[in-house]
Amino acid sequence: MAPPGEGRDAALLPEFPRGPLDTYRARASFSWKELALFAEGEDMLRFKKTIYSALENDPLFARSPGAHLSLEKYRELNFLRCKRIFEYDFLSVGGMFENPLKVSTLTQCLGMYDWSLAAKYLLHTLVFGSAVFSSGSERHFAYIQKIFSMEIFGCFALTELSHGSNAKAIRTTAHYNPATEEFIIHSPDFEAAKFWIGNMGKTATHAVVFAQLYVPGGQCHGLHAFIIQIRDPKTLLPMPGVMVGDIGKKLGLNGLDNGFAVFHKVRVPRQSLLNRMGDITPEGTYVSPFKDARQRLGASLGSLSWGRVAIMGMAVANLKLAVSIAVRFSATRRQFGPTEDEEIPVLEYQTQQWRLLPYLAAAYALDHFSKSLFLDLVEFQRGLAAGDRSARQAELGREIHALASAGKSLASWTAQQGIQECREACGGHGYLAVNRLGVLRDDNDPNSTYEGDNNVLLQQTSNYLLGLLACRVQDGACFRSPLKSVDFLDSYPSILDQRFEVSSVADCLDSAVALAAYKWLVCYLLRETHEKLNQEKRSGSDDFEARNNCQLKDDAVALVDVIAPPDFVLGSPIGRADGELYKNLWGAVLQDSKVLERASWWPEFSVNKPVTGSLKSKL
Amino acid sequence: MAPPGEGRDAALLPEFPRGPLDTYRARASFSWKELALFAEGEDMLRFKKTIYSALENDPLFARSPGAHLSLEKYRELNFLRCKRIFEYDFLSVGGMFENPLKVSTLTQCLGMYDWSLAAKYLLHTLVFGSAVFSSGSERHFAYIQKIFSMEIFGCFALTELSHGSNAKAIRTTAHYNPATEEFIIHSPDFEAAKFWIGNMGKTATHAVVFAQLYVPGGQCHGLHAFIIQIRDPKTLLPMPGVMVGDIGKKLGLNGLDNGFAVFHKVRVPRQSLLNRMGDITPEGTYVSPFKDARQRLGASLGSLSWGRVAIMGMAVANLKLAVSIAVRFSATRRQFGPTEDEEIPVLEYQTQQWRLLPYLAAAYALDHFSKSLFLDLVEFQRGLAAGDRSARQAELGREIHALASAGKSLASWTAQQGIQECREACGGHGYLAVNRLGVLRDDNDPNSTYEGDNNVLLQQTSNYLLGLLACRVQDGACFRSPLKSVDFLDSYPSILDQRFEVSSVADCLDSAVALAAYKWLVCYLLRETHEKLNQEKRSGSDDFEARNNCQLKDDAVALVDVIAPPDFVLGSPIGRADGELYKNLWGAVLQDSKVLERASWWPEFSVNKPVTGSLKSKL
């Protein structure tokens, strides 16, 4: 490798300006350029530089800290930026297949700039696009070209006002009418309104809508996806029977328009059904390659691992930004010192190191984990595409699901806590909006909620492990998994016999010691959980209760009644004393300004279309 | 006690509307009305009801969730509301002395409505007002009347751009000139700008400014407080030599205008010195009732306990609001259930209970603790006012300082974590701005920073305990304190000999078991810290190093250089790669819009004065 700082490296990784950080940079035990090249590779560093430079040189992306954009202005700006990304066309569809990791890198580059932009772009191209591609069939592929030319704009509409985690209980219906060869899409009431749907608030013309499919005669075949036009692309006005609007301000990601939709007997052609998992004949007979609804749902929701792995990457990016800010601040902020006249950087204090350095380490460790899991998922997806129906492929799917569920929870929580610690470690200056730690906290926050609440996801991982343990106990099967993440559990009896015998603090610094302790802990928790679950089952609880044996809680509402101020002061629709959760929330959402109104910038979508790749020559 | 729900109680504590929460309310093991009366007392409940009703019935306080106020509009509205509080005059100065707990209750009622309002009102009346009252002398008392008629508006200016925690290192100077009998107030450079000062941004006409006092000949007598006019009350334009502006948007509390001020050789009369702790003769001789600068600083900063106890109350109020929202949501949100068709409230799930109920318990426990500590502080203050110079009084001051330092940290962190848990426990709906958990998180956040960073404060408490232990070890002195909070430590050797011998889970539910475990833990940590500190001292480290023995950190900046994106993308003045912390931050603050401009609503202060108590008859 050429000496860093010379030739091509100098252009790719220029020197930092000289200044107060020089002292620490000179003291580092390694070359940051060599580590950057080792960790990312020259090709990826160049790709990132191309994206970052394009944004920095384009006035549309100029940062204006003092502008304090209104919700509507921010959404307009975010839409214009999203359109501009199409014109730059940083990564062609071919390029995605060639080096899938670049999809993840593009996401993180856009997100490090502004997560509202990344979310808007990716919900349209990747989430909406791949739902059409992977759940639809050839008759739907014409949509793909319209997606990348922005002829249409899409969203993915699963959750409803009253249902998120329990997706099976979604209440929107799709009744098939053979006389007209149409589905009637209907929301039985406002609690079944599609809700929280990114891009639906102001922009989307089309939605992938999940609904319960009913055939003539009244039989329900469970949840299916339909592609439904919700707005006229020429005017951005809603289609007949569709009440579509914006759910309003969120804690973060406000460049993205999250929306709701209520369908009133909306008639759509039979071909709207995304029919890879199940189809209906013109006469109204249901046909599916899957045996039952449960298996079909599993297959159609299988793509959830993508979302979870993507979120890991988003959380890692946020953690990187936060520790970068806090470490540089701490290396230059001086406070107190050994004498009255001499103050030292706060990074020199043990407390500050204890607060920040574990998160710096976590940023590196989680970065590696999320990238390698992303590549495992690519391998799995290639197996799917190639029609691999081997036991290993199925086992790989389960293992990735378990790893992505736990990994998403770990990464999003670590980032959230890390950002908060960085905010506090920067003191008052960390609380100033211009320093960005607030935006990072607000934009990272939903990572613990969407694509599965973290607590619910952790249970999916523990179910996976408990299942493996049950096989081992009952059938003597080995712990073995394609990625080897559970292989160590095979020796769990001997691991549990291990005792902590390290005698000195110095020995504890050996990473093998910490690793052994973690292994012991996993084995211990797994055994305890397994035994407790069996005990509950033996004592007669059914499965549901066994996982949820209740205690202590009947007083909670009355205890809250004592400390809660009147509703007017509490000021929260979901916390009102009457408990009419959805009525209150729905009412508040509809009272917001311009909820149902078309965005003022609608011609920017309807008339001024982007020419994909038109700015590529400028890169 | 009359049966609850009848007669006067019915008016004071009316029934809740019937609805989905009825089931839980019926199942409660106690009467919420009896508990409310027991916990607060009828008088306090009535006081709260008066305040809440006034706000609810006044259109100026109407909540408009969809309004999305601009920074300037929010500040205007907050100022108008603050003025209105003077007109209601909920609590006279006499009333404060009669029942000091009402000050705390008023703060929490206003804060539960909006912390920006509470902060603006209290920074002016209590923080600025009591600084003038307790640090000044009779010649300053004329200001007090002007404060309560809003003839002037005040702020408390201690921290500077480059100094917060280390208040002794404040760099603003006050040179006395006997020829004109004036002080020259001067900021040597922008790093010494007063910064973060609440009310200074747009409103304050006067500031209590801390500066290093120099007498002719050049001797410095340390930090002193001066009352300085910074704006003309008739125009709200800055006084000559004062550059005063707004530091811009913060993560929360944006109704409050935090500001900065740079003084360029501003001449103020000799009488501007708040001279209770030290004075200067017309000829320039320094006189003080205190022996040295260190002792004087201690006395002048002694009032910090008030701020910390107030913050405890603020944090508790936020925790109450958050758990109220999350518990009511969880009791009405249904998701999953024992059968396909039946869904149960998420409050029934053990996970949800584990997440929320400890914070509900903490809200009650911390509420009691903060109120009792507030009353202890009142007792201490009365002793001070009465000139009590007993050993008990001094010891009480030290104990309260230690309790308030730890209590502020405990309460603010518990509230911050609790709010985040509530946000997540409410899923996506918790992320919707209208449901208020975001505002609570943002407004509670600075509680861990101002009036002393939590980590720094915890060290003050541990220093107190280590000091007591050293006395006990060296002199055989008993652990005894006026509030008895440390008395249990007297038997620390026998506590440390205790072993955990509880055999059943049921026994662990006995609170005595948890209490004994906590006592053991405190003794253990205290002994370990004491021994480690002695060991470090013996090994030759000086005091400063002993508390701060460094490790691992020299690589931190270079590790961050690898993962940080370019400055443009990172978008944080304090995190820029050149490390020019203050230049970058100062530049960013000055680039914000209307930083130095007078607020458009200035006549609302200068012309339309409130008549204190004019709306009292409406209560």
Count chain A–chain B contacts defined by CB atoms under 8 A. Answer: 456
Q: Choose the closest CB to A569 out of B67, B112, B585.
A: B112
**Interchain contact, A565 vs B55, CB within 8 Å:** no
Contact B248 A434 (CB under 8 A): yes
- Residue B557 and residue A349: Cβ atoms within 8 Å? no
Most confident residue range from A224-233, A294-303, B298-307: A224-233
Q: What is the mean pLDDT of chain B?
A: 92
DSSP 8-state class, residue A354: H
Question: Are the beta carbons of A343 and B435 separated by less than 8 Å?
Answer: no
pLDDT at A4: 45
Amino acid letter, residue A450: Y
Q: Which of B40, B421, B451, B604 is labelled catalytic?
A: B451
Give the lowest-confidence range in A554-568, A574-588, B6-20, B42-56: B6-20
User: Between A321 and B507, whose confidence is greater?
Assistant: A321
The predicted pLDDT at position B377 comes to 93
Distance from CA of A486 to the nearest CA of B (A): 25
pTM of the model: 0.94
Q: HEC profile for B495-563? A: HHHCCCCCCCHHHHCCHHHHHHHHHHHHHHHHHHHHHHHHHHHHCCCCHHHHCCCCCCHHHHHHHHHHH
Report pLDDT for B523: 95
Q: Considering only CB atoms, which chain B residues are within 8 Å of A564? A: 320-321, 324, 328
pLDDT reported for residue A309: 95
Best residue of B191, B196, B251 to probe chain A, by most A CBs closer than 10 Å: B251
- Judging contacts by C-beta atoms under 8 Å, the chain A residues touching residue B597 are none
Q: What is the structure's pLDDT at B507?
A: 87
- Over residues B83-124, the pLDDT tens digits come to 999 999 999 888 988 999 999 999 999 999 999 999 999 999
Query: Residue B61 phi/psi, 5° resolution?
Result: -100, 5
Instruction: Read off the pLDDT of residues B500-514 as tens digits, 9 standing for 90 and up.
Output: 888 888 888 898 999
pLDDT of residue A503: 86
**Out of A351, A557, A570, whose CB is closest to B28?**
A557
**Confidence category of residue B298, pLDDT binned at 50, 70, 90:** low
Query: Which residues, in sequence order, are bridge partners of residue A371?
Result: none
List CB contacts (< 8 A) between B562 and chain A.
32, 35-36, 39
> Which residues of B participate in the annotated binding site for FAD?
159, 198
B301 has pLDDT over 80: no
Q: Which of A5-9, A311-315, B343-347 reaches the highest mean pLDDT?
A: A311-315
* CB proximity list for B534: less than 8 A, separation 6 or greater: none
Helix, strand counts (H, E) of chain B: 25, 11
Which helix (H) or strand (E) is A261 found in, with range?
Answer: strand A258-263
Query: Is A198 marked as a binding-site residue?
Result: yes
Q: How many residues does chain A have?
A: 619
| B569 touching chain A per CB within 8 A | yes
- Residue A5 has a pLDDT of 44
> Would you state the structure tokens that stand for residue B240, as one six-digit string?
């000559």
The nearest alpha carbon in chain B to A62 belongs to B568
Q: Is B570 on the interface with A (CB under 8 A)?
A: yes
Question: Has residue A524 got a pLDDT over 70?
Answer: yes
| CA dist., res. A215 & res. A270, Å (int) | 12
Could you tell me the two tokens for B141? 């008392």
Closest-CA residue to B148 (of B612, B604, B609, B606): B612
Instruction: Judge whether A570 is closer than 8 Å to chain B, CB to CB.
Output: yes
Both tokens of A302, joined, read 């299988």
Q: How far is A142 from chain B (nearest CA, A)?
A: 33
Q: In this structure, what token pair is assigned to residue B195? A: 């910064």
| Cβ within 8 Å, pair B347-A549 | no
Of all residues in chain A, the percent with pLDDT exceeding 70 is 94
CATH of B302-452, one of 1.10.238.10, 1.20.140.10, 3.30.565.10, 3.90.1010.10: 1.20.140.10
A247 has pLDDT over 60:
yes
Whether B434 has a pLDDT exceeding 80, the answer reads yes
Measure in Å the smallest separation between the Cα of B498 and chain A Cα atoms: 22
What is the per-residue pLDDT across B113-152, written as a single tens digit (0 to 9) for each?
Answer: 999 999 999 999 999 999 999 889 999 999 999 999 999 9
| Residue A214 parent element (H or E) | strand A206-214
**Which among A106, A194, A563, A581 is the top mutation candidate for probing chain B, defined by the most B β-carbons within 10 Å of its own β-carbon?**
A563
Asked whether the predicted pLDDT for residue A573 surpasses 50, the reply is yes
Query: Which one of B223, B328, B339, B555 would you mutate to disrupt binding with A, by most A Cβ within 10 Å of its Cβ?
Result: B328
Which residue of chain B has the CA closest to A348? B550
pLDDT at B537: 83
> What integer pLDDT is reported at residue B3 of this predicted model?
46
All structural domains of chain B with their residue ranges: 154-290, 302-452, 467-500+511-546
Contacts with A57 from chain B: Cβ below 8 Å? none
Measured CA to CA, the distance from residue B105 to residue A205 in angstroms comes to: 52
A:292-311 residues touching chain B, CB 8 A cutoff: none
**Cβ of residue B616 closer than 8 Å to a chain A Cβ:** no
- pLDDT, residue B508, reads 86
Q: Which pLDDT band, with edges at 50, 70 and 90, does B460 fall under? A: very high
- For position B4, what pLDDT does the model report? 45
A248 interfaces chain B, CB cutoff of 8 Å:
yes
How confident is the model over A248-286, as pLDDT tens digits?
999 999 999 999 999 999 999 999 999 988 999 999 999
Q: How confident is the model at residue B292 (pLDDT cuts 50, 70, 90)?
A: low
Confidence at B542, pLDDT banded by 50, 70, 90 = low
Answer positive or negative: Cα dihedral of B356, B361, B364, B369.
negative
Q: What is the pLDDT of residue A364?
A: 97
Q: What's residue B66's pLDDT? A: 61
Q: Which of B284, B240, B245, B233 is nearest to B266 (CA)?
A: B240
Q: In Å, how far is A591's CA from the nearest CA of chain B?
A: 7
Q: Would you state the pLDDT for residue B544?
A: 59
Q: What is the mean pLDDT of chain A?
A: 92
Q: Is the pLDDT of residue A541 over 50?
A: yes
CB atoms within 10 A of CB B362: 19
Residue B342 at interface with chain A, using a CB cutoff of 8 Å:
no
Whether the pLDDT of residue A123 is over 50: the answer is yes
CB hemisphere CA count around A336 (13 angstroms): 13
Q: Does B62 touch chain A (CB under 8 A)?
A: no
Here the ipTM equals 0.93
Residue B396 contacts residue B302 (beta carbons within 8 Å): no
pLDDT per position as a tens digit, A400-442: 999 999 999 999 999 999 999 999 999 999 999 999 999 999 9
Reference A422, options A364, A367, A363, A356; nearest CA is: A356
CATH code 3.30.70.1450 for A154-290: no
Interface test with A, best of B457, B581, B594 (most A CBs within 10 A): B581
Residue B302's pLDDT band (boundaries 50, 70, 90)?
A: low
B249 vs A453: CB contact, 8 Å cut-off? Answer: no
Listed in sequence order, the DSSP H helices in B426-484 are 427-430, 437-444, 454-475
Angle at B370 between CA B364 and CA B375, to 5 degrees: 130
Confidence check: pLDDT of B304 > 50:
yes
Mean pLDDT of A135-143: 93
B52–A353 C-beta distance less than 8 A: no
- Our CA-based measurement puts residue B86 at a distance from the nearest CA of chain A, in whole angstroms, of 19
Q: Give residue B548's pLDDT.
A: 54
Q: Hey, which residues 119-178 in chain A have their CB within 8 Å of chain B?
A: 159, 162-166, 168-169
Residue A3: band (very low, low, confident or very high) from pLDDT cuts 50, 70, 90: very low
Highest mean pLDDT: which range of A19-28, A56-65, B388-397: A19-28
Helix (H, G, I), strand (E, B) or coil at A548: coil
How confident is the model over A283-310, as a mean pLDDT? 75
- The pLDDT assigned to B505 comes to 83
Contact B66 A434 (CB under 8 A): no
Contact list in B for residue A22 (CB cut-off 8 A) is 579
**Which of B333, B420, B552 minimises the CB distance to A581?**
B333
- Please classify residue A324 by burial: count the beta carbons closer than 10 Å to its beta carbon, then call 0-12 exposed, 13-18 middle and 19+ buried: buried
Query: pLDDT digit string (tens) for A352-408?
Result: 999 999 999 999 999 999 999 999 999 998 888 888 888 898 899 899 999 999 999
Choose among A68, A550, A559: nearest Cβ to B70: A68
- Is residue B565 predicted with pLDDT exceeding 60? yes
Are the beta carbons of A28 and B569 separated by less than 8 Å?
Answer: no
- Radius of gyration over alpha carbons of chain B, in Å? 27
Q: Residue B39: which of A30, A165, A562 has the nearest Cβ? A: A562
Under an 8 A CB cutoff, do B52 and A566 touch?
yes
Q: Which own/partner pairs from A140-148 qualify as long-range (CB within 8 Å, at least 24 positions apart)?
A: A140/A227, A140/A271, A140/A274, A143/A206, A143/A227, A148/A86, A148/A93, A148/A612
Residue A115 to chain B, least CA–CA distance (Å)? 12
